[in-house]
């Protein structure tokens, strides 16, 4: 379904294809922060299109998801050299090694406890890192689960997708874990976001958007194009989510009732990955 009152889409060139722009987050400084997965950089983009790039060391550390922390800095997962990175608004960066070797950190979010929480794709663990860089890890009750995205839920817990275990997981700040299997087999969930009431997630292999209530009730909404490969999702308000369709060159929107609207991107084959909501910060 396509609306005539479509939102205006503006494209801002930030890098060539080789850089691999991947994650995006709204910083406390009012700018957007991006990861370039292939070139190993973090970039800061102002809303008038001014770009600053900060190279990471080593350049093949493969930064993935990036997110604002409670300290005003941006935190990101370095999936190739298995570290958690932190960068301040003026581009000063540091990183902390994840204790489990070859962990493959990917998703990261600010928790309700003042710490950052992250997923370890390769080692079936959820990690927690304090502002000082102290890391604790919690093992999942499933091997080869491939935990992907993670977000803080409205219930004071953390919620995450298990891409290969076909489930949504919940972990309390004390490390208690519950898994909720998805109704659709082989759905391969990736992105997840909380809208203040429930959690919304995308099923990249099934071409569906899912919603899970905090008591574990799951609804699934098929996309018009089941091969669209939805990847990331962000909530702008309760029952209003936006998501990327990296296989279909579109941005989609879904409402609480499951009504889906899609918007084509101007550049062909642009493979949209990450998406972020603009956050209003109150000091």
Q: Is 38 annotated as a binding residue?
A: no
| Residues forming the active site | 273
Q: Is 219 annotated as a binding residue?
A: no
What is each CA distance from 270 to 52, 68, 248, 251, in whole angstroms?
A: 22, 25, 9, 11
Which strands, in side-by-side order, build the sheet including 116-120? 105-110, 116-120, 125-129, 135-139
Can you read off the two tokens belonging to residue 12?
């801002």
The CA-to-CA distance between both ends of the chain, in Å, stands at 40
Query: Are 228 and 244 a contacting pair, CB within 8 Å?
Result: no
Annotated binding-site ranges for Mg(2+): 271
Annotated binding-site ranges: 231, 271
Annotated binding-site ranges for substrate: 231
């Amino acid at each position: 379904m396509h609306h005539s009152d479509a939102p205006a889409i503006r494209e801002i060139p930030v890098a060539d294809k080789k850089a691999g722009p991947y994650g995006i987050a709204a910083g406390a400084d009012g700018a957007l922060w991006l990861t370039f997965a292939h070139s190993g950089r973090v970039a800061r983009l102002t809303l008038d299109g001014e770009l600053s790039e900060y190279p990471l060391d080593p350049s093949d550390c493969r930064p993935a998801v990036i997110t604002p922390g409670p300290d005003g800095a941006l935190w990101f997962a370095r999936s190739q050299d298995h570290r958690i990175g932190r960068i301040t608004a003026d581009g000063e960066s540091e990183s902390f090694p994840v204790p489990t070797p070859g962990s493959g950190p990917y998703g990261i979010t600010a928790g309700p406890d003042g710490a950052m929480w992250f997923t370890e794709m390769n080692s079936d663990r959820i990690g927690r890192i304090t502002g000082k860089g102290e890391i604790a890890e919690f093992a999942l009750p499933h091997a080869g689960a491939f935990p992907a995205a993670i977000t803080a839920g409205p219930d004071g817990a953390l919620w995450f997708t298990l891409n290969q275990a076909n489930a949504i997981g919940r972990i309390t700040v004390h490390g208690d874990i519950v898994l909720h299997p998805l109704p659709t087999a082989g759905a391969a969930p990736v992105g997840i976001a909380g809208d203040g009431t429930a959690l919304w997630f995308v099923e990249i292999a099934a071409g569906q958007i899912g919603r899970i209530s905090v008591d574990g009730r799951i609804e699934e909404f098929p996309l018009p194009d089941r091969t669209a490969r939805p990847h990331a999702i962000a909530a702008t308000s309760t029952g209003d989510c936006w998501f990327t369709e990296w296989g279909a060159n579109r941005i989609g929107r879904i409402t609480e009732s499951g009504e889906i609207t899609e918007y084509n991107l101007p550049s062909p084959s642009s493979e949209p990955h990450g998406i972020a909501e603009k956050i209003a910060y109150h000091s």
